A and B are shown apart, each in its own frame.
Chain A
Amino acid sequence: DTEVTQTPKHLVMGMTNKKSLKCEQHMGHRAMYWYKQKAKKPPELMFVYSYEKLSINESVPSRFSPECPNSSLLNLHLHALQPEDSALYLCASSQEVAASYEQYFGPGTRLTVT
């Protein structure tokens, strides 16, 4: 099984809402990632978790809060977002963070902030 699943597929939320994105993999990978992708742009790294510990935060605003409750799950908690945060949020995983390991991407959550 080489699948990364993400839920929900689509999410519409107001600027005062609190919501969460969920990512799951059962490949035994110990590195997990969150990316943000705007339309017609490349994915941009947000966070990296290695062995359930946050190892990279790309200066992401605090209204985005990642969580890795166990080695198979990665959450992204959203609070007080802005319309410019509307984007495709991609989760990925790899065996470890080392460069030689392939990253597997999920299909993404399409987020619209109104």
Chain B
Amino acid sequence: GESVGLHLPTLSVQEGDNSIINCAYSNSASDYFIWYKQESGKGPQFIIDIRSNMDKRQGQRVTVLLNKTVKHLSLQIAATQPGDSAVYFCAEKWGAGGTSYGKLTFGQGTILTVHP
């Protein structure tokens, strides 16, 4: 079946470094791609999303890049801080109706560890 996956299960960086978390997807029909952060004992927290007709979107310290040619999504975190340590999930969502309308499908997740 179609799925969203990640290249690297763990990423360890030093405080102040830039972090890049990658994600490969296979469903070219998805309308939105979203990055979530999940800290221990908490639910996923929305970070940033990007619509399928865009290739780049910036937020506060984060940038999401979408390459539809190779079906690749990445999250860049600038000046990574210890508080950024968490599991990061990419997810995709269909928006065109049908039986999958409203369905959010998560990738496998990357554990980001930031060392002081």
Interface residues in chain A, defined as those with a beta carbon under 8 Å from any beta carbon in chain B: 4, 31, 33, 40-45, 48, 50, 55-56, 58, 90, 92, 97-100, 102-108
Are A43 and B106 CB-contacts (below 8 A) given A102-B46, A102-B49?
Answer: yes
Query: Which of B94, B95, B102, B105 interacts with A31 by CB under 8 Å?
Result: B102
Chain A min CB distance to B81 (Å) = 22
Residues of B within 8 A of A56 (CB): 99-103
Are B43's CB and A108's CB within 8 A? yes
Are B43's CB and A42's CB within 8 A? no
> Can you list 17 contacts pairing A with B, beta carbon distance less than 8 Å?
A42-B106, A42-B109, A43-B106, A45-B103, A48-B102, A50-B102, A55-B101, A58-B103, A92-B43, A97-B102, A98-B102, A99-B94, A100-B51, A102-B46, A105-B44, A107-B42, A108-B43
Chain B min CB distance to A41 (Å) = 8
Query: Which of B51, B99, B104 interacts with A103 by CB under 8 Å?
Result: B104
Select from chain A the residue with minimum beta-carbon distance to B4.
A42
